[in-house]
Structure 1
């Protein structure tokens, strides 16, 4: 009888250590990234690209923009968007896929985006493309992008 109790106890412990809990954590992290993407998009819509890209950036974030230009750091990213010579910019996007590291502290997302703005001549311009964002989990549990 003692052997059966020990065996049941060992099986219970092994079951609790199964990768199921890791899979749940990674699934939860993916959902966090999708929510973060939506919150990011909402803030950009409400307060503009400069504030949105600033608020969701890690302190050492890097964005790559036209002509392979790298903009490094939160403040420089905000200044980049503040100095744009476009009027009424809007951007929408949605992640098509999210991948989370096994440790659950890094993630990447990609999907389609659409930028719409009025150029200097008053003509509406629409740019469509694919985005790729790399996310880092912060000490407070939030996610900030380190690459966009």
Structure 2
């Protein structure tokens, strides 16, 4: 398993969010027992909390791009780090950075087990 495959998974995750909506993508790419850290809010813990929260999300207001990834020597855990843009009604409302921790599933696919991020005062350029 290569780092590029993990970056490609994160990009596919974003592509699905743009095509089918952020909520549907977060449900599809989350592992069975995910955690989401949300600044200023309680974390989302577990599959049912994800489905309940993200089923209410419509549109594709969030877009992101992975900038770095690493995979553990064991080949079963990895992370992606990147930047995101938040839009409302087509207008940019915020920028930030995120980190997703991914776990390789029994079928060889990657699903995130933990996701979180924070806002930045301006777009991140790396």
Give the TM interval when normalised to the shorter protein: 0.7 to 0.9
Unaligned runs of 5+ in 1: 1-27
The residue number in structure 2 matching 1:97 is 68
The residue number in structure 1 matching 2:87 is 116
Are the aligned partners of 2:22 and 2:59 in contact in 1 as well (CA < 8 Å)? no
The residue number in structure 1 matching 2:77 is 106
Task: Tell me the distance in 1 between the aligned counterparts of 2:91 and 2:55.
Answer: 19
Kindly report structure 1 stretches of 4+ aligned residues shifted beyond 3 Å: none
Per the TM alignment, residue 74 of structure 1 is displaced from its structure 2 partner at its CA by 2.6
Task: Count matched residues.
Answer: 115
Task: Tell me the distance in 1 between the aligned counterparts of 2:24 and 2:48.
Answer: 10
Supply the RMSD in Å over aligned alpha carbons.
1.9
Task: Tell me the distance in 1 between the aligned counterparts of 2:47 and 2:21.
Answer: 15
Q: Which has the higher contact order (CA 8 A, sep 6+)?
A: 2
Task: Tell me the distance in 1 between the aligned counterparts of 2:46 and 2:38.
Answer: 14
The residue number in structure 2 matching 1:41 is 14
Q: Does the C-alpha gap of structure 1 residues 89 and 43 become closer, same or farther in structure 2, counting only changes over 3 Å? A: closer
TM-score, normalised by the number of residues in structure 1: 0.70
Per the TM alignment, residue 78 of structure 1 is displaced from its structure 2 partner at its CA by 2.8
What does 1:1-148 correspond to in 2, within 5 Å? 28-84=1-57, 88-118=59-89, 124=91, 126-148=93-115
Are the aligned partners of 2:105 and 2:111 in contact in 1 as well (CA < 8 Å)? yes
Higher helix share: 1
Unaligned runs of 5+ in 2: 116-126
